[in-house]
Amino acid sequence: MNCQTYRQKCTLEPKFQEKEFISHQQACSDCAAFTKDMMQFEQSLIEAINVEIPDGLTQRILQGQFKKSSNLLVKFNDWLKSIFYFPPVYAIAASLFLLITMFSNGWWQANADTVFLKQEIINYIENTPQAFQIDKQKQVPAAELHMMFQKIGAKMTGDIGKVSFCKVLTLHGYRSAYMVLSGTKGPINVLLIRNSKISQPQNINHVKFKGIIRATKWGNIAIIGVGKEPLEQIAKRINEKLIWL
**Which residues partner with 194 through β-bridges?**
219
CB 178 within 8 A of CB 169: yes
* Average pLDDT score, the chain: 79
What domains can you pick out in the chain, each with its CATH number?
Answer: 3-50 (no CATH), 57-105 (no CATH), 133-244 (3.30.200)
CB-count burial class (<10 Å; 0-12, 13-18, 19+) for 177: buried
Q: pTM of the prediction?
A: 0.59
Rounded distance, CA 98 to CA 158, Å? 48
Rounded distance, CA 161 to CA 182, Å? 7
Q: Do strands 242-244 and 202-205 pair parallel, antiparallel, or not at all (unpaired)?
A: unpaired
Averaged pLDDT, 239-245: 92
Residues making up the chain, counted from first to last? 245
pLDDT in the model for residue 76: 47
CB 231 within 8 A of CB 223: yes
Averaged pLDDT, 160-182: 93
Rounded distance, CA 58 to CA 140, Å? 60
Q: How confident is the model at residue 206 (pLDDT cuts 50, 70, 90)?
A: confident
pLDDT at 149 over 70: yes
pLDDT in the model for residue 194: 95
pLDDT in the model for residue 54: 54
pLDDT at 69 over 50: no
pLDDT in the model for residue 8: 81
